[in-house]
Structure 1
Amino acid sequence: MATAAMATSLDGKQREPLLHFPTPAAANGAGAAGRRRFLAFLAVMAALIASYHLLEPANSSRYHALFLTLGSNATAAAHLRALTLRPHVAGTEANAAAARYVLHAFSSLSFPAHITPYSVLLSYPVHRSLTLAAARGLAAMPFSLVQETYKGDPYAEAAAEVIPTYFAYSASGSVVAEVVYANYGHSEDYAYLASRGVDVAGKVALVRYGDIHCEDMVRNARAAGAAAAIVYTDAKDFGGSAPKGGKRKWFPEARWLPPTGVQVGTLYYGNGDPTTPLWPSCAAGDDCERLSAEDLSASEAMPGIPALPVSARDGETILKAMGGDVAPPKWQGGEGAPLYRLGPGPAVLNLTYIGNDTLATIENVYAVIQGKEEPDRYVIIGNHRDAWTFGAIDPNSGTAAMLEIAERLSKLQAKGWRPRRTIILCSWDAEEFALIGSTEWVEENMDTLASRAIAYLNVDISVFGPGGLRPRATPQLDELIKEASKMVPDPDEPSQTLYDTMMRYHPPITRVAGAGTDFAAFLQHIGVPSLDMSYGLFNEYPVYHSLYDDYVWVERFGDPLFQRHVAVASVWGLIALKLADDEIIPFNYISYASELEECTKDIADKCKGFPVSLSPLQKSIKQLESAATKIHEEKKCRTGGVYTMSAAWGLREYVQKFC
Structure 2
Amino acid sequence: MSFDLTLSTFLTIISAFTTIFLPSHPKSYYHSLFLSPSLSSNDSLSHDLLSLTRRPHVAGTPANSHTASYVLSQLTSYNIPSRLKSYSVLLTYPVSRSLTLTPSLQHPLPEVFSLQQEIYKGDPFADVAGEVLPTFHAYAKSGTATGPAVYVNYGQMEDYRTLEEMGVDVKGTIAVAKYGRIFRGDIVQNAYEAGCIGVIVYTDRKDFGGGDSGNWFPNGRWMPPTGVQVGSVLLVKGDPTTPGWASTEGCERLSDEELVEVLPKIPSLPVSGQDGETIIKSIGGKVAKDDWQGSKDGPVYRVGPGPAVLNLTYLGKQTIASIENVIGVIEGAEEPDRYVVLGNHRDAWTFGAADPNSGTATLLEVAKRLQKLALEGWKPRRTIILCNWDAEEYALIGSTEWAEENSKILISRAVAYLNVDIAVAGPGFRADATPQLDELIREAAKQVQDPDNSSQTVYDSWAKSSPSLEVGRLGGGGSDFAAFVQHLGIPAADFSYETGGYPVYHSLYDDFVWMKQFGDPGFHRHVAVASIWGLVALRLADDEILPFNYVSYATELKNGAKELEDRISDKGVDVNPLLKAIEELQGAANKINGEIEGVKRSKRQISSMWKDENIKVRELNDRLMMTERAFTDPDGLPAKPWYKHLIYAPTKHNGYGSRYFPGIEDAVEEASGLKTTDSWRAVQHQIWRVSRAIKHASIVLSGHLA
- What is the distance in 2 between the residues matched to 1:619 and 1:568? 36
1:612–1:537 Cα change, 3 Å: closer
How far off its partner does 1:46 sit? 8.1
How far off its partner does 1:632 sit? 4.7
- What is the distance in 2 between the residues matched to 1:610 and 1:147? 52
Map 1:258-269 to 2 at 5 A: 258-269=224-235
- What is the distance in 2 between the residues matched to 1:378 and 1:434? 25
Query: Partner residue of 2:630?
Result: none
Map 1:323-472 to 2 at 5 A: 323-467=284-428, 469-472=429-432
Query: Partner residue of 1:21?
Result: none
* 2:478 maps to amino acid: G
Q: Would you say 1:529 and 2:529 are equivalent positions? A: no
Q: Would you say 1:145 and 2:115 are equivalent positions? A: yes
Query: Partner residue of 1:218?
Result: 188
Q: Would you say 1:62 and 2:32 are equivalent positions? A: no
What secondary structure does 1:202 align onto? Answer: coil
- What is the distance in 2 between the residues matched to 1:493 and 1:635? 40
Deviations 1:80-104 (A, max 9, x none): 0000000100001100000000010
Query: Partner residue of 1:106?
Result: 75
1:425–1:154 Cα change, 3 Å: same
What secondary structure does 1:490 align onto? Answer: coil
Q: Extract unaligned runs of 5+ from structure 2.
A: 611-706
How far off its partner does 1:612 sit? 5.8
Map 1:467-482 to 2 at 5 A: 467=428, 469-482=429-442
* 2:460 maps to amino acid: D
How far off its partner does 1:511 sit? 1.3
- What is the distance in 2 between the residues matched to 1:112 and 1:611? 54
1:490–1:612 Cα change, 3 Å: closer
1:179–1:487 Cα change, 3 Å: same
* 1:581 maps to amino acid: D
- What is the distance in 2 between the residues matched to 1:564 and 1:364? 26
- What is the distance in 2 between the residues matched to 1:597 and 1:103? 45
- What is the distance in 2 between the residues matched to 1:611 and 1:441? 40
How far off its partner does 1:642 sit? 6.8
How far off its partner does 1:77 sit? 0.4
Length, aligned pairs only: 601
Is the CA contact 2:555–2:586 (under 8 Å) kept in the aligned structure 1? no
Is the CA contact 2:98–2:314 (under 8 Å) kept in the aligned structure 1? yes
What secondary structure does 2:387 align onto? Answer: strand
* 1:535 maps to amino acid: Y
1:95 to 48, 52, 64: 64
Is the CA contact 2:426–2:497 (under 8 Å) kept in the aligned structure 1? yes
Is the CA contact 1:268–1:434 (under 8 Å) kept in the aligned structure 2? yes
Is the CA contact 1:182–1:206 (under 8 Å) kept in the aligned structure 2? yes
Query: Given the two structures, how large is their TM-score scaled by the length of structure 1?
Result: 0.87
* 1:298 maps to amino acid: E
Query: Given the two structures, how large is their TM-score scaled by the length of structure 2?
Result: 0.82
Is the CA contact 1:379–1:421 (under 8 Å) kept in the aligned structure 2? yes
Query: Partner residue of 2:462?
Result: 502
How far off its partner does 1:199 sit? 1.1
Deviations 1:528-584 (A, max 9, x none): 110001013243x10000000000000000000000000100110011111111111
What secondary structure does 1:132 align onto? Answer: strand
1:387–1:471 Cα change, 3 Å: same
Query: Partner residue of 2:218?
Result: 252
Q: Would you say 1:165 and 2:129 are equivalent positions? A: no
Is the CA contact 1:51–1:644 (under 8 Å) kept in the aligned structure 2? no
Is the CA contact 1:588–1:632 (under 8 Å) kept in the aligned structure 2? no
- What is the distance in 1 between the residues matched to 2:236 and 2:472? 23
Largest Rg, 1 or 2: 1
1:596–1:144 Cα change, 3 Å: same
Is the CA contact 2:343–2:419 (under 8 Å) kept in the aligned structure 1? yes
* 1:555 maps to amino acid: K
Deviations 1:595-615 (A, max 9, x none): 232233245445633356436
Q: Would you say 1:581 and 2:581 are equivalent positions? A: no
What secondary structure does 2:371 align onto? Answer: helix
Is the CA contact 2:206–2:212 (under 8 Å) kept in the aligned structure 1? no
Map 1:26-41 to 2 at 5 A: 37=6, 40-41=9-10
Is the CA contact 1:272–1:437 (under 8 Å) kept in the aligned structure 2? yes
- What is the distance in 1 between the residues matched to 2:82 and 2:268? 40
* 1:499 maps to amino acid: Y
Q: Would you say 1:291 and 2:254 are equivalent positions? A: yes
What secondary structure does 1:401 align onto? Answer: helix
Query: Partner residue of 1:197?
Result: 167
How far off its partner does 1:496 sit? 1.1
- What is the distance in 2 between the residues matched to 1:483 and 1:112? 30
Is the CA contact 2:561–2:575 (under 8 Å) kept in the aligned structure 1? no
Is the CA contact 1:597–1:621 (under 8 Å) kept in the aligned structure 2? no
What secondary structure does 1:257 align onto? Answer: coil
- What is the distance in 2 between the residues matched to 1:408 and 1:592? 32
Query: Partner residue of 1:625?
Result: 589
- What is the distance in 2 between the residues matched to 1:391 and 1:61? 36
How far off its partner does 1:616 sit? 4.0
Deviations 1:491-535 (A, max 9, x none): 111111111122231452111112110011111121111000101
Query: Partner residue of 2:680?
Result: none
Query: Partner residue of 1:73?
Result: 42
Is the CA contact 1:242–1:249 (under 8 Å) kept in the aligned structure 2? no
Is the CA contact 1:593–1:624 (under 8 Å) kept in the aligned structure 2? no
How far off its partner does 1:644 sit? 12
Q: Would you say 1:273 and 2:239 are equivalent positions? A: yes
Map 1:638-649 to 2 at 5 A: 641=604
Query: Partner residue of 1:132?
Result: 101
1:123–1:635 Cα change, 3 Å: farther
* 1:517 maps to amino acid: S
How far off its partner does 1:241 sit? 3.6
Deviations 1:27-71 (A, max 9, x none): xxxxx976x53685487268448848x998x61111111111111
- What is the distance in 2 between the residues matched to 1:95 and 1:446? 26
Is the CA contact 2:339–2:415 (under 8 Å) kept in the aligned structure 1? yes
What secondary structure does 1:439 align onto? Answer: helix
- What is the distance in 2 between the residues matched to 1:426 and 1:555? 26
- What is the distance in 2 between the residues matched to 1:519 and 1:182? 31
1:224–1:389 Cα change, 3 Å: same
What secondary structure does 2:456 align onto? Answer: strand
For the aligned residue pairs, the C-alpha RMSD in angstroms reads 2.3
- What is the distance in 2 between the residues matched to 1:322 and 1:611? 47
Is the CA contact 2:549–2:589 (under 8 Å) kept in the aligned structure 1? no
Is the CA contact 2:554–2:583 (under 8 Å) kept in the aligned structure 1? no
Q: Would you say 1:517 and 2:479 are equivalent positions? A: yes
What secondary structure does 2:533 align onto? Answer: helix
Map 1:558-597 to 2 at 5 A: 558-597=519-558
- What is the distance in 1 between the residues matched to 2:218 and 2:269? 26
1:181 to 151, 158, 163: 151
Deviations 1:278-321 (A, max 9, x none): 11111xxx31100012111123xx22000000001000111111
* 2:300 maps to amino acid: L
- What is the distance in 1 between the residues matched to 2:104 and 2:561? 55
How far off its partner does 1:631 sit? 3.4
- What is the distance in 2 between the residues matched to 1:59 and 1:172? 60
How far off its partner does 1:128 sit? 0.3
- What is the distance in 2 between the residues matched to 1:474 and 1:93? 37
Higher mean alpha-carbon deviation, 190-199 vs 217-226, is at: 190-199
How far off its partner does 1:168 sit? 0.5
Is the CA contact 1:214–1:267 (under 8 Å) kept in the aligned structure 2? yes
- What is the distance in 2 between the residues matched to 1:553 and 1:635? 51
How far off its partner does 1:155 sit? 1.1
- What is the distance in 2 between the residues matched to 1:322 and 1:362? 43
Query: Partner residue of 1:655?
Result: none
